[in-house]
Structure 1
Amino acid sequence: MQQRTLGPFQVSAIGLGCMNLSHAYGVPPSPEQGASVLLRALDLGCTLFDTAALYGFGANEELVGKVLAPHRHRFTLASKCGMQGVDGKRVIDGRPDTLKATCEASLRRLRTDVIDLYYLHRWDRQVPIEDSVGALADLVREGKIRTIGLSEVSAATLRRAHAVHPITAVQTEYSLWTRNPEVAVLEACREMGVAFVAFSPVGRGFLTGALRDVGTLDAKDIRRAMPRFSPENYAANLRLLDGLEALAARAGCTPAQLSLAWLLARGEHVIPIPGTTQVKHLEDDLAAAALQLPADVLAQAGALINHQSVVGPRYPAATQVEIDTEAL
């Protein structure tokens, strides 16, 4: 597997986002199926596994810890704090004491003494970013985490945080159909030597071409509340897939692989972390790291699907106010 630099770590160019093994897209797979995905990823050379206290309200960290703790020396472990489940509800809380307590709970669930990369999952606007990052810096000094990351922040917030303690990575949604990072934070990361970890790199399933009818989504699937997945908007967006699928076929790969290859070509500091519940899809995703696609193919993909051709914002208004990323 091709390698990329993540702070002091060398990791696989494509990591694994573990969220949907426990959270977000309807009924999660069985623990046995989740374990098969995690172990197969490790066997295929994936060395970056990404989870969070929020996912499954602790269940995802429990799964990752149970399955991967015996192999802890073989991979870089990332988790997140600052957004978690409290009494069955999602809560954003960036107060220092909360972040430190969350870390202690995560260490127990993950069955590890130290988390390699610990993100502030969301910036709690009620707490100065300097205070939240200062708490994470305390955890670094205490040896409970090795490096600090931020999620869904702007370039300006990254710089404020970096002045308190070096930031190793910024994690934000980035794909052919979500281009917000291109406003400023992607380049800021490159300039500062900060890795850019791209979540939802295949558009929450859209760019795989497999989801044709949003009416089939589970009632609790979070995509049902996302504007791009409304029946009207999704019908318009589906028209983009024929061109992407034809382009991928000519390139000898799948649409998901083309989408991941496009991301990898955006910069050496970009590390996509697709998620899946299926071993077959996992194998397809990780194989994208070995592709050598012509520049004109990647350019055509980017011209076909982008913020101007996609219909609908990525988040509903209530969620949009919770994030700090630049808007297009």
Structure 2
Amino acid sequence: MNNRILGNTDRSISPVGLGCMGLSHAFGTPLEKAEAAKKIQAAYDMGYTFFDTAECYTGTNPDGSTAYNEEAVGMGIKPFRDKIVLATKCGVRFDENQMLLDSSPETIRRSVEGSLKRLQTDYIDLYYQHRVDPKVEPETVAETMAQLKKEGKIRAWGISCVEEDYLRRAHAVCPVSAVQNVYSVIDRETEKLFPVLEELGVTLVAFTPLAKGFLSGRYQERPQFDHPEDNRSGQFQFSEEGFRYYQQALDLIRSTAEEKGATMAQVCLAWMIRKKPWIVPIPGTRSPERMKENLASADVALTAEEIAKIDEALNQMGLKDAASKRISKPEIIR
């Protein structure tokens, strides 16, 4: 398993990171904090060295209290803090389920202090602007991040869900190390950014690389996600129409997995890992077995020719522009 270098830094990270969101946000009842911390420690023991969380990843505990994902992550990484790369995010908050954007310098500064406290650390390896705020120019955000780097509070910064113009303008002020965008076999819009990411030396951190578990092949028919804080119920791919729409893609992944002696999830992750040396997927799971399976995808051998063959088959299915179909209700932040 070959590690990767994070953007323009000298930091080495595992080729698959752990998206920690689902431990306490958007996937049902949050795990108890100590239990979530044990999951993170188990991931580290397997070989994970890249952990992703966010200020706004919260859930409601059974007693009505708020579960802060950063607190669980901070507890989990404490024994090996200096041996891993920790990413968190700012610029998003919720008010009665409405997503509010605020990337003003004042808010970013308040947010970084809160995150440092919850994470029990004195620095953040990778600090993302979680969503582009149309009220704040990219140069202003980049200048704030540059100041935080000089103060030692963050070591690198990134942007989530970004387009080329914004990225270039921000990068010109303070080099961006990572972009975190949706990317998967059935959601390939981010490929239009590949030339600029390669040019600028920016790592692509792929979130929802398994389309929230849909691409694992575990679901053979429309599942029921009954918990009010489980946002998978609002995803197009889990609808009856979605299963029909993506059936050819699932069949392609399944047949490739059988040829490779791998799982469907491993093929989906290997497809992007092998495509570019600067792509790092961050699938999320609560299951140690799935963590191990996902990390082992880095050892699945897909040649450039095999990847091109998969891409051509996907192109023939017309899925490249399917991103707009995937959300059927207001977004719960990812």
- Deviation, structure 1 residue 304: 4.0
Aligned to 2:262: 253
Aligned to 2:53: 51
Q: How many Å separate the matches in 1 of 2:56 and 2:141?
A: 17
In structure 2, relative to structure 1, the CA distance for the partners of 1:103 and 1:158 (3 Å cut) is same
Contact 1:39 1:67 in 2 (8 A): yes
- Deviation, structure 1 residue 136: 1.6
- Deviation, structure 1 residue 120: 0.2
- Deviation, structure 1 residue 26: 2.2
Q: How many Å separate the matches in 1 of 2:222 and 2:148?
A: 42
Q: Aligned to 2:307, which of 298, 305, 312?
A: 298
Secondary structure in 2 matching 1:271: strand
Question: Which amino acid in 2 is paired with 1:250?
Answer: E
Aligned to 2:63: none
Contact 1:153 1:170 in 2 (8 A): yes
- Deviation, structure 1 residue 250: 1.2
Q: Aligned to 1:172, which of 150, 174, 181?
A: 181
Determine if the alignment matches structure 1 residue 212 to structure 2 residue 220. Answer: yes
Q: How does 1:162-311 map to 2 (within 5 A)?
A: 162-183=171-192, 185-220=193-228, 221-305=230-314, 308-309=318-319
- Deviation, structure 1 residue 30: 3.8
Aligned identity (percent) is: 38
Question: Which amino acid in 1 is paired with 2:318?
Answer: Q
Contact 2:122 2:153 in 1 (8 A): yes
Aligned to 1:3: 3
Q: Report how many aligned residue pairs link the two structures.
A: 321
- Deviation, structure 1 residue 65: 0.5
Q: How many Å separate the matches in 2 of 1:170 and 1:194?
A: 7
Question: Which amino acid in 1 is paired with 2:266?
Answer: Q
Q: Aligned to 1:70, which of 76, 79, 83?
A: 79
In structure 2, relative to structure 1, the CA distance for the partners of 1:237 and 1:87 (3 Å cut) is closer
In structure 2, relative to structure 1, the CA distance for the partners of 1:294 and 1:51 (3 Å cut) is same
Determine if the alignment matches structure 1 residue 37 to structure 2 residue 50. Answer: no
TM-score by length of 2: 0.89
In structure 2, relative to structure 1, the CA distance for the partners of 1:137 and 1:262 (3 Å cut) is same
Q: Aligned to 1:115, which of 116, 124, 127?
A: 124
Aligned to 2:327: 315
Question: Which amino acid in 2 is paired with 1:26?
Answer: G
Q: How many Å separate the matches in 1 of 2:203 and 2:288?
A: 27
**Larger deviation: 104-113 or 293-302?**
293-302
**Larger deviation: 222-231 or 301-310?**
301-310
Contact 2:207 2:281 in 1 (8 A): yes
Secondary structure in 2 matching 1:78: strand
Q: How many Å separate the matches in 1 of 2:329 and 2:27?
A: 20
Aligned to 2:62: none
- Describe the superposition over 1:252-280 as per-residue Cα deviations: whole angstroms up to 9, x where unpaired: 10011001110012211111111111000
Q: Which runs of 5+ in 2 are unaligned?
A: 60-66
Contact 2:273 2:279 in 1 (8 A): yes
Aligned to 2:88: 79
- Describe the superposition over 1:78-107 as per-residue Cα deviations: whole angstroms up to 9, x where unpaired: 110011345775421111101110110000
Q: How many Å separate the matches in 2 of 1:136 and 1:154?
A: 19
- Describe the superposition over 1:111-135 as per-residue Cα deviations: whole angstroms up to 9, x where unpaired: 0000011000001111112112222
- Describe the superposition over 1:14-52 as per-residue Cα deviations: whole angstroms up to 9, x where unpaired: 111111111112223343442332112111211111111
**Larger deviation: 244-253 or 79-88?**
79-88
RMSD (Å) for aligned C-alpha atoms: 2.4
- Deviation, structure 1 residue 226: 2.9
In structure 2, relative to structure 1, the CA distance for the partners of 1:134 and 1:87 (3 Å cut) is farther
Q: How many Å separate the matches in 2 of 1:266 and 1:243?
A: 17
Q: How does 1:97-112 map to 2 (within 5 A)?
A: 97-112=106-121
Q: How many Å separate the matches in 2 of 1:316 and 1:187?
A: 30
Q: How many Å separate the matches in 2 of 1:173 and 1:87?
A: 25
Contact 1:25 1:218 in 2 (8 A): no
- Describe the superposition over 1:226-271 as per-residue Cα deviations: whole angstroms up to 9, x where unpaired: 3333332233323532332122011110011001110012211111
In structure 2, relative to structure 1, the CA distance for the partners of 1:249 and 1:36 (3 Å cut) is farther
Q: How many Å separate the matches in 1 of 2:104 and 2:86?
A: 23
Q: How many Å separate the matches in 2 of 1:88 and 1:182?
A: 31
Aligned to 1:24: 26
In structure 2, relative to structure 1, the CA distance for the partners of 1:87 and 1:222 (3 Å cut) is closer
- Deviation, structure 1 residue 309: 3.6
- Describe the superposition over 1:190-235 as per-residue Cα deviations: whole angstroms up to 9, x where unpaired: 1111111111111211110112333412343223223333332233
